[in-house]
Chains A and B, each alone.
Chain A
Amino acid sequence: MTSPGAAPGAAPGPQVRVVLPAHLRNLAGVHGEVLVRLTVPVLTQRAVLDAIESRFPMLGGTIRDRRTGKRRAFIRFYACEQDLSNEPPDAPLPDAVAAAIVAGTEPFLVVGAMAGG
């Protein structure tokens, strides 16, 4: 892990391990997992993405549309072997998933959809 945590001055919230796809790690200039700290107590998809974009502004628009906030079509969100991609952005993550992420035992995965051919 290369990220020490939330930016200075951020309000306290859960700290989350995040795995980014290789292209976004390169863009953000990081290696391996990163840590981001949420600014709200409840773990939602939007809260995690807000924290990622706050810490790495250059990722704005690469995971979700800047204007609509919708997940880009070829991006997926996984955690605890569950596909969270189509969950409402403001819905609390399932209790067991949230507990594992907050405990730091499982990361939140941002994944580029598979492409073959």
Chain B
Amino acid sequence: MTQVRVLAGTRKGAFVLSSDGKRDKWSVSGPHFGGWEVYHMKGSPADPDRLYASQNTGWFGQLIQRSDDGGTSWQPVGNDFGYAGGDPGTHLWYDGTPRPWEFKRIWHLEPSPDDPDTVYAGGEDAALYKSADGGLTWTELTGLRVQPSAPGWQPGAGGLCLHTIILQKSRMFVAISAAGTFRSDDAGETWRPVNRGLHSEGIPDEDAEVGHCVHHVEAHPSRPDTLFMQKHWDVMRSDDGGLSWTEVSGNLPTDFGFPIGVHAHEPDTIYVVPITSDSLHYPPDGRLRVWRSRSGGNEWEELSAGLPERDCYVNVYRDAMAVDTLDSCGVYFGTTGGQVYASADSGDSWAPIVRDLPAVLSVEVQVLS
């Protein structure tokens, strides 16, 4: 029997939400790691019972937890996330002075599609790590952090975080706030910025090669050259593997937001959650809405059935949207108000799975046969 498992990382622990393929009745397991921030939790495509979770607090630092039974039990694995080399060098601090790289947390975990023991991790200050032994040990892929633009990277208000990792065999993409998107064609050995076409009013040179506050990037597996980006402002699209970008914000009520999702079976169907502005991190007019484009951008439709009509002032973070792979594609997102919403019909209608979790930091979903 088909089962669906939603992995929700929150400000105070991790939760596993389970349902059958109908996706109308859910059970809730958790909190796992209660009291800890869980920035991200994701399952291995090669072994769905292998889960990885990033667990952190300001008191005790970073831990990585691994489950081999679908989240029933967990064990801490490696948490040694230093910067390779004796002198890690510097990036720019908020005051414009050089500042040595300093590890703070793991924002995103991306398991390999082929090997349950291989997983990548995106860190703050921005660095990309890889483990090939199920998270026991981690190695920094230094090619990203030593590429020429890195000493000029400067954190935005959210920190210099590597929050997006896209694996396409030997080609990889990462995105960093507030540096931009980077591409490797040699499995992470060397990297180059791929931000041409991005335009950001918050930086001195609005068309600069780096310095853009990219919030999230997604790609459909069947179209690896097509990338969709939610930037600080602007929804963007690339059809050449990131070499150039065009804006596809179209008729969105506001093009500020954090997550972006791609339908599992329709590579041109994408989802965003418009947020009022960079200074008002809640939906316009207190009405929570998902907007869907079936044309890969520019033409958007408002999805409202089942979502709050008034007095809603939550945010949806960058890693808090996911889609499942059932025939009728499920779409999920979590809010800073602790709700996780699900749609079993590609976004046409929505219902909350849970309403009162801690602030949701991330949402991922697995389909189990």
Contact surface of A with B, Cβ cutoff 8 Å? 21, 23-24, 27, 58, 60-63, 65-67, 72-75, 112-113
Contact = CB atoms under 8 A, between A and B. Distances in A.
B176 to A, nearest CB: 22
Contacts of A60: 79-80
Contacts of A23: 35-36, 57, 59-60
Nearest 7 A-B pairs (CB), nearest first? A62-B60, A74-B59, A58-B76, A112-B59, A61-B79, A67-B82, A66-B80
Interface string B43-84: 000000000000001111111000000000000100110100
B178 to A, nearest CB: 25
Interface of B: 35-36, 57-63, 76, 79-80, 82
Contacts of A63: 60
Given A66-B80, A66-B82, A67-B82, A61 B36 contact: no
Contacts of B36: 23
Given A23-B35, A23-B36, A112 B80 contact: no
Main secondary structure of the interface of A (DSSP, over half): loop
Contacts of B60: 23-24, 27, 62-63, 72, 75, 112
12 contacts: A23-B35, A23-B60, A24-B60, A27-B60, A58-B76, A63-B60, A66-B82, A72-B60, A72-B61, A75-B60, A112-B59, A112-B60
A61 B59 contact: no
Given A23-B36, A27-B63, A61 B57 contact: no
Contacts of B61: 61-62, 65, 72
Contacts of A58: 63, 76
Given A23-B59, A74-B58, A75-B59, A61 B80 contact: yes
Contacts of B59: 21, 23, 72, 74-75, 112-113
A67 B82 CA distance: 7
A27 B80 contact: no
| Of listed B60, B80, B82, residue having the most chain A CB within 10 A | B60
A79 to B, nearest CB: 19
Contacts of A66: 79-80, 82
A4 B185 CA distance: 53
Nearest to B60: A62
A74 B80 CA distance: 19
A67 B103 CA distance: 11
A24 B60 CA distance: 8
A60 B136 CA distance: 13
A61 B62 contact: yes
Contacts of A72: 59-61
Nearest to A62: B60
Contacts of B63: 27, 58, 61-62
Nearest to A74: B59
Given A61-B63, A75-B60, 6 more contacts: A24-B60, A27-B76, A66-B79, A66-B82, A74-B58, A74-B59
Nearest to A67: B82
A60 B76 CA distance: 11
B53 to A, nearest CB: 13
B88 to A, nearest CB: 10
A75 B59 CA distance: 6
A63 B59 CA distance: 8
A113 B60 CA distance: 11
A72 to B, nearest CB: 6
A13 B82 CA distance: 32
Nearest to A112: B59
B94 to A, nearest CB: 19
Nearest to A73: B58
| Of listed B61, B63, B76, B79, residue having the most chain A CB within 10 A | B61
A66 B102 CA distance: 12
A53 to B, nearest CB: 12
Contacts of A75: 59-60
A64 B326 CA distance: 45
Contacts of B58: 73-74
Contacts of A21: 59
Contacts of A73: 58
A58 B64 CA distance: 10
A27 B75 CA distance: 9
A102 B63 CA distance: 32
